[in-house]
Amino acid sequence: MIHLKNAEQLKLMKRAGRIAGEALLLAGENVRPGVTTKKLDDIIRNHIERCGAVPSFLGYAGFPASACISINDEVIHGIPSEGRVLEEGDIVKIDVGAKFRGYHGDNARTFPVGAVSNEAKRLIEVTEASFYRALEAIKKEGARIGDIGHAVESYCAEHGYSVVRRYVGHGVGEELHEDPEVPNFGRAGHGLRLCAGMTIAIEPMVNTGTGAVREMPDGWTVKTADGGLSAHYEHTVAITEEGIILLTQV
């Protein structure tokens, strides 16, 4: 069931989104060689809790940390640890959610660690740009879920990249994951029609090789099947009568 949000609920989601967005950017400012993923997770948790919110991911289905932090060929759901140290040339995906007064904000970004390869830099840029292509696609009247996926996948394919199909975006609200699913692939003009009050996480997950992935024995970490690099970019987006609002933008 899709839960449409009223003006008051959107205010709370914007506050949750801002907290999540601030935590993400604060962690990004601390991305450098020698920093552990646990240190980044601590920074995120401390900020969220100082703002009177709760980390959305902590304890979610048993997840043991406040953020998902994934490096290089890890696509999503990497578990922060003291033993995982960032190295020059890595790319690190940080995915952060915050719950404020009953509502969630969810966002992610890929950060370069020091100087990275041209391939890594280009992958990060294309992944972010594909998100904004999706936003443009849904600004038109009568836009549908399929317009999002088509925009993301076609843009990434133009640049020689593949989107992950096993994992998708989703609705956000009182639950971290709500209906509808928001795939990064699809047919333009098809799927559920978007309407005012919907709040969704659009989150391209893009690989240098194939879109195939594999799950690790820890039950969480997801890697590219071929060992290629992966990038991730996400905002929580509100559809309103006045237009599109990025709830997690800071």
Q: What is the mean pLDDT of the chain?
A: 98
pTM for this prediction = 0.97
For residues 68-83, give the mean pLDDT.
98
Q: What is the pLDDT of residues 106-151, one digit of tens each?
A: 999 999 999 999 999 999 999 999 999 999 999 987 899 999 999 9
Tell me which fold the domain 7-246 belongs to. Answer: Creatine Amidinohydrolase (3.90.230)
The secondary element (H helix, E strand) that includes residue 183 is: none
Q: What is the pLDDT of residues 196-241, one digit of tens each?
A: 999 999 999 999 999 999 999 999 999 999 999 999 999 999 999 9
Element (H, E) at 162: strand 162-163
Query: Rounded CA gap, 56 and 75, in Å?
Result: 19
Burial of 105 (0-12, 13-18, 19+ CB in 10 A): buried
Q: Is residue 36 predicted with pLDDT exceeding 90? A: yes
